[in-house]
Amino acid sequence: MEPVFRRWYERKMLATPELVAETKLVEQILSTIKTVAIVGISKNEHKDSHYVGRYLQRAGYTVVPVNPTASTILGVRCYPNLESIPFPVDAVDIFRKPEEAVAVVEEALQLHPRVVWLQLGVGTHEEAVRKAEAAGCLLIQNRCMKVDHQFLMRTSVNHSTNTHTSNGESHEQQRETTSLPL
């Protein structure tokens, strides 16, 4: 089944030069961050936010739950908001309603993370992009940190077979020739 999902991921995330560049950037981010604050993580282990947090924790990241209705999630202290976290975080992963996204990004930028990540379903927000750029912070939108980690870090994209871009170049060749500063 893994080759089926790999092909899906590569068709979706490596379909255009822009997505190839973004995917390469995501791979660089995931290989360098260590601490991830997850805003909106649920106490309910059956919710996506909880599942993503548990996956990231098991993958070796320090997960910092942010949920005002819980004292602990995933066996660690939960913070009511981002400003109450007393230590630096590398990334802020946001699971909130789309209409709350820009305000949460503004709060996240006060922590000076390397990246703010708007999870799938939170949407795309040009205002959030402008604010993150002005603060010198990367903003990833409409992607799942767990899915990206699963395909980019746990397994190598180079294991794929027979996947090519619209110009006939293999995705691997296109990824290798795309360079992005981090």
DSSP H helices in the chain: 2-13, 17-32, 48-58, 101-109, 126-134, 145-149, 171-177
pLDDT tens-digit readout, 80-123: 999 999 999 999 999 999 999 999 999 999 999 999 999 998 98
- Which residue positions in the chain have pLDDT lower than 70? 1-2, 155-182
Instruction: From 121, 124, 86, select the one nearest 105 (Cα to Cα).
Output: 124
Please say whether the beta carbons of 92 and 82 come within 8 A.
yes
Place of tokens 């981090």: 182
> What was the pLDDT predicted at 157?
39
pTM: 0.82
pLDDT at res. 12:
80
Instruction: List the alpha helices (DSSP H) in 34-81.
Output: 48-58
In the numeric block, the tokens 């822009």 are attached to 18
pLDDT at residue number 158: 39
pLDDT of residue 9: 83
The domains located in the chain, with CATH, are 34-156 (3.40.50.720)
